[in-house]
A and B are shown apart, each in its own frame.
Chain A
Amino acid sequence: MQEKEIITSTDEQQEYVINMGPQHPSTHGVLRLLVSLKGEKVKSVQPHIGYIHSGIEKMCESITYPQIIHLTDRMDYISAHINNEAVCLNVEKALEVDIPDRIKVIRTIMSELTRLQSHQLWWACFGMDLGGLTCFFYGLRDREKILDIFEETCGGRMILSYNCPGGLMYDIHPNFQKRVKEFIKYFRKILPEYDQLLTGNVIFHERSKGIGKLTKEDAISFGVTGPTGRASGFSCDVRKHEPYSAYDRVQFKEILHTEGDTFARYVARIDEMWESMNIIEQLIDNIPEGPFAVKMKPIIKLPEGEYYQRVETARGELGVYIISDGNKNPYRVKFRSPNFSNLSVLNHIASGFKIADLVAIGGSLDLIIPDIDR
């Protein structure tokens, strides 16, 4: 189960089928890849999912709308806040609630902080996958600083549950603005260090440039979104195309690269970290006064109908589709998770490369397995 295990040596052409996972450090969770090899070259990759399928969509049908956010937290747990935002925005849209500016701005700042810590963690793990263990320690060192800010305001480190339909659970901590500004100042100095450590490394270049090329057309037809899609030139940033919360009042670039290889996906994420910091800096000084939550009915019932809301998580486009029959529980909830679509492209881009490159390609897709299985 752990190491490469030979199941069959099928035909005379010496094609081996090996199991990678479910317990394998480089699959970042419990993904199982059935890899057909010819020599050292990957012929095809067949992902097997369901090793962490906990039935979240079905569970949502028997709980109320404010309770759903505690389950979406545990879907893509590294961008937990953005997942919650998707559900809250959908419910607010259905009820046609007017959300005050203060809530919108705080939500946007928290989303961008979430994106930053997600990319930091990805950088740490990606470096470790390719053999740079120092990246792991550097990345998690800086991530802890964001988690401290979260902890002070929300009480949680990564599972925040800070959003609720109609606003936020509680107001920001008095120190919030000061500490975020301190962090941005600190991280602007530290991020070039990441570049020095990994981006310019020759071994890293050899292992990532030209590996796992994904064209723009394929990215669109596979539905690959997020930094992975944008590294192939697919302009898919929901923050730009369909602004929600306070994204319509900030200036930021949509990071687009055209190479589409592993290195482009890496650079796209590093650039996104800079953009996230820009967004936070524009908003942090102008948090409007006002209430932190709108008064909602004690039992939220959505009017009959179908509602869809999409947001940009750290990994791509998350869509929340709710069918309501007028009760306090949704009739059906469907999540269009970014990782599921991003995983589907793995066979297409990893075929023909060496098995060691499969680790690099899988790492650059930044997969979170519970988000795939839900």
Chain B
Amino acid sequence: MKREEFEDNESLDLLNASGTNILLTTIDDVINWGRKNSLWPLTFATRCCGIEMMAAGAARHDFARFGMEVYRASPRQADVIVVAGTIVHKMAPVLKRLYDEMSEPKYVVAMGACAISGGPFFLNSYSVVKGVEHVIPVDVYVPGCPPRPEALLYGMLQLQRLIETQTIKSRKARNESHDYK
């Protein structure tokens, strides 16, 4: 792939710009290695995608191979929130609160058509939030209705790649650029 095709990969640019500081880069590498290999998801499921998320954690697909070791029931202990399913207007404040309760660093995966855009409920529905990015910032989108467990695994691996490119600086810039208050 050509360099120009990475045009919106701001993290990569930041990484290149601050590439001279050996100490910081080494620290970043170590921190990122730790973060990406122990992503603990929150048990948050609203609709069918939740069942596929469970299937991803169960015997055949085995999430734990890639470091998503256990599902945590408490947002305080979770690193990544997989928004699995439709978010309706009544649920949106709860989702926001769950996101706020999670401690940094936190990541969001929008799983399934409903979380990405409203999906099958995009037209005609009066109560569905048309995309979870209206409520919380999303890192990775996993399309499908519902996505296969393999698709979720691929999405989580993409999230690991994203974490790999982050630095202390870029992380801070990313947090400040999102204003969802």
Q: Which of A224-281 contact B (CB under 8 A)?
A: none
Query: Pick the contact of B88 from A54, A77, A144 — CB < 8 Å?
Result: A54
* Chain A residue nearest in CB terms to B44: A23
Q: Which B residues are CB-close (under 8 A) to A144?
A: 55, 58-60
**Cα-based distance from A141 to B85 in the complex (angstroms):** 23
Contact segment of B11-19, B120-128, B163-171: B120-128
Whether the pair A71, B120 counts as a contact (CB closer than 8 A) is: yes
Instruction: Pick 27 A–B contacts, CB within 8 A, sort by A.
Output: A1-B97, A2-B73, A3-B74, A22-B91, A23-B75, A23-B98, A29-B45, A30-B46, A50-B88, A50-B90, A51-B46, A51-B91, A54-B86, A54-B128, A55-B127, A59-B125, A63-B124, A74-B48, A77-B47, A77-B48, A77-B51, A121-B51, A137-B58, A138-B59, A158-B146, A159-B146, A370-B47
Size of chain B's interface in residues, with CB distance under 8 A?
Answer: 38
How distant is B144 from chain A, measured CB to nearest CB, in Å? Answer: 10
Give chain B's interface residues, CB within 8 Å of chain A.
42-48, 50-52, 54-55, 58-60, 71, 73-75, 85-86, 88, 90-91, 94, 97-98, 101, 120-121, 124-128, 145-146, 148
Could you list which residues of chain A lie within 8 angstroms of chain B, going by C-beta atoms?
1-3, 22-25, 29-30, 50-55, 58-59, 62-63, 70-71, 74, 77-78, 121, 124, 136-138, 140-141, 143-144, 157-159, 369-370
Residues of B within 8 A of A59 (CB): 121, 124-125
CA distance in complex: A62, B50 (Å)? 28
* Residues B58 and A136 in contact, CB atoms below 8 Å apart: yes
A10 to B128, CA, bound (A): 35
Q: Which of A30, A59, A77 has the most CB of B within 10 A?
A: A30
Min CB–CB distance A118 → chain B (angstroms): 10
Distance, CA A58 to CA B97, complexed state (A): 29
Contact B47 A74, beta carbon cutoff 8 Å: yes
Q: Is the CB of A137 within 8 A of B48?
A: no
Q: How far is the CA of A78 from the CA of B54 in the complex (A)?
A: 13
Q: How far is the CA of A50 from the CA of B88 in the complex (A)?
A: 9
A22 CB, min distance to chain B CBs, angstroms: 5
Further 19 A-B residue pairs, CB within 8 A, beyond A50-B88, A144-B58? A2-B73, A3-B74, A25-B71, A29-B46, A51-B88, A51-B90, A51-B91, A51-B94, A52-B46, A52-B85, A54-B128, A55-B125, A138-B59, A140-B59, A141-B59, A157-B52, A157-B146, A158-B146, A370-B86
A161 to B74, CA, bound (A): 35
The residue of chain A having its C-beta at the shortest distance from the C-beta of B149 within the complex is A157
Expressed in whole angstroms, the minimum distance between the Cβ of B33 and any Cβ of chain A is 29
Which secondary structure dominates where chain B touches chain A?
A: loop
Specify which of B86, B94, B145 is in contact with A23 (CB 8 Å cutoff): B94
CB distance from B47 to the nearest CB of A (A): 5
Question: How far apart are the CA atoms of A55 and B122 in the complex, in Å?
Answer: 11
Establish whether residues B86 and A140, one from each chain, have CB atoms under 8 Å apart when the complex forms: no
Given contacts A2-B73, A30-B91, A121-B51, contact A159 B58 (CB under 8 A): no
Q: Report which of A23, A29, A54, A121 forms a contact with B125, defined as CB distance below 8 A.
A: A54
A159 touches B48 (CB 8 A): yes
Q: Is the CB of A140 within 8 A of B54?
A: yes
Does A55 contact B121, Cβ atoms closer than 8 Å? Answer: yes
Shortest CB distance A6–B (Å)? 17
B127, A158: Cβ atoms closer than 8 Å: no
Q: Shortest beta-carbon distance, B92 to chain A, in Å? A: 10
B50 to chain A, nearest CB (A): 7
Task: Return B148 CB to nearest CB of chain A, in Å.
Answer: 7
Determine the distance from Cα of A2 to Cα of B59 in the docked complex, in whole angstroms: 27
Whether A158 lies near B51 (C-beta < 8 A) is: yes
Shortest B19–chain A CB gap in Å is 41
Bound state CA distance, A175 and B46, in angstroms?
A: 34
The residue of chain B having its C-beta at the shortest distance from the C-beta of A51 within the complex is B91
CB–CB A54/B127 < 8 A: yes
Judge whether A141 and B94 touch: CB under 8 Å. Answer: no
Known contacts: A30-B91, A53-B88, A144-B55. The answer to whether A25 contacts B121 by CB under 8 A is: no
- In the complex, which residues of chain A have a beta carbon less than 8 angstroms from the beta carbon of B127? 53-55
Q: How far is the CB of A247 from chain B (nearest CB, A)?
A: 27
Report whether B125 and A25 are in contact in the complex, using a CB–CB cutoff of 8 Å: no
Q: How far is the CA of A140 from the CA of B51 in the complex (A)?
A: 10
Q: Tell me the minimal C-beta distance from A39 to chain B in angstroms.
A: 24
> Shortest beta-carbon distance, A331 to chain B, in Å?
15
Q: How far is the CB of B101 from chain A (nearest CB, A)?
A: 7
**Contact of B101 (CB < 8 Å), options: A2, A136, A370:** A2
Chain B residues closer than 8 Å to A370, beta-carbon distance: 46-48, 86
